[in-house]
Amino acid sequence: MKLNKKKYWIAGIVLILVCVGAYLKFANSDGEKDEKDLYIQPSIRTIENKQILSGKLVSSKEVNLKSELGGVIEAIYVNVGDEVKKGQAIAKLRTLPDPKMSQEAERQISVAHTNLERVRANYERNKTLYEKDVIAKQDLEVSVQEYKLAETDLRNANENKKIVTQGFSRKNGFVSDVVCSTTDGIVLDIPVKTGTTIMNRNNFNEGTTIATIADMNQILFKGQINERDLSKLDLGKKMLIRVNALRNQTFESEVVKISPKGVDVGGITRFDIEAKLLVSAVDLYKFKSGFTASAEFVVDRVSNAISIEEKYIRYKEDTSYVYIKNGEVKKRIILETGISDGQYIEIIKGLRKNDKVMKEEMENEK
């Protein structure tokens, strides 16, 4: 009986010692954890201050096809997205003659015909007189030249009438009622349909766009930059382009154009910029004209900088400061800061790598 009691006492003492040991271990680890949660240490890193511009992707060359003749779209030979070659037929027109222009064309033919009859009569008369040695050969040659010129004027008047009434002339193999592509590329847009009435392009009217053709062999990023950041951007500077439609894939680019004239946007002067995407021919198929994108470029950069997260810095008027642990004492340190990447900030003066920046004081001051 006494032996059993002794065993119980020993087991109880062991259990108590185990509990005390576990408590002390937990208390020490919790204390260490609390200690680490009280401060952070500066780190050495490269800090980049980046600027982000919004914009879109476009082809380097886009052509709006227009006709020199007005009329009705009779046929369209391509679809949006088709690849076309220079000279390929895009659409055919059926012209609607202008009554005034038709009347003027008839008048020109009548004038040219009357003039030809007069010149022909003069030529035949001078030819007879020359054969009779009444006039000199030089006078006959003048009559011949006038006769040929009058014939040319009548032919031109007839060709002009065909253009006005039919919409085209087959002279020299040129058929102007068919609108052809002026470049190799992809059809981006066809804003007209069969049966649509279009206006011709002339000195007084831009004309109706029949199709937009884009050369997609070179893609540009187009955006705007604030005047305050303009000094950080030069021709040839590299930028990283992030394309939203391609799951934020990034592509390298190079600035190729900076507008010499700014525009006012909401009271802020902005300058148009263009950057050429530096991608291989294999990747060109990924891009569509009009994709929204953002451009990112480095404004400032510093390497091997002592830095801390900005959230641990306090500000009072024009002074920035932190508290550091100096033994058992908490000391207020005035900082001189440099550039920031939005999370980490460069510490030019005030902190060393091994300093312990207190968090607790920061939380108490909030």
Residue spans of the domains in the chain: they are: 39-50+302-365, 52-58+215-299, 67-90+180-209, 99-166
User: Residue 200: which region, alpha, beta or left (left: phi > 0; alpha: psi -120 to 50)?
Assistant: beta
Confidence of residue 176 (pLDDT cuts 50, 70, 90): low
pLDDT tens-digit series, residues 118-139: 999 998 888 888 888 888 888 8
Q: What is the C-alpha to C-alpha distance for residues 192 and 73, in angstroms, rounded to an integer?
A: 8
Confidence of residue 18 (pLDDT cuts 50, 70, 90): low
Q: Is the confidence at residue 25, as pLDDT, over 90? A: no
Q: Which CATH class is domain 99-166?
A: mainly alpha
Residue 230's contacts (CB-CB under 8 Å, 6 or more residues apart) are 258, 271
Range 102-108 average pLDDT: 85
Q: Which CATH class is domain 39-50+302-365?
A: mainly beta
Q: Is the confidence at residue 11, as pLDDT, over 70? A: no
Range 166-194 average pLDDT: 76
Confidence of residue 315 (pLDDT cuts 50, 70, 90): confident
39-50+302-365 and 52-58+215-299 have identical folds: no
Determine which of 50-54, 166-170, 177-181, 326-330 has the lowest per-residue pLDDT on average.
166-170
Q: What is the C-alpha to C-alpha distance for residues 210 and 66, in angstroms, rounded to an integer?
A: 6
Predicted confidence at residue 259, as pLDDT, reads 93
pTM (2 d.p.): 0.57
**Nearest C-alpha neighbor of 109 from the set 117, 98, 120:** 117
Residue 357's contacts (CB-CB under 8 Å, 6 or more residues apart) are 39, 40, 41, 42, 308, 312, 322, 323, 324, 351
Give the DSSP H or E segment for 169: none
Between these two residues, 355 and 201, which has the higher pLDDT value? 355
- The residue written with tokens 């009622």 in the block is 177
Q: Is the confidence at residue 306, as pLDDT, over 80? A: yes
Q: What is the C-alpha to C-alpha distance for residues 313 and 319, in angstroms, rounded to an integer?
A: 10
Q: Is the confidence at residue 326, as pLDDT, over 80? A: no
Between these two residues, 120 and 32, which has the higher pLDDT value? 120
**Nearest C-alpha neighbor of 109 from the set 163, 161, 165, 166:** 161
Q: What are the CA-CA distances from residue 63 to residues 181, 186, 235, 250, 292 (Å)?
A: 9, 10, 26, 28, 21
Residue 316: strand, helix, or coil: strand
Domain 52-58+215-299 coded CATH 3.20.20.70: no
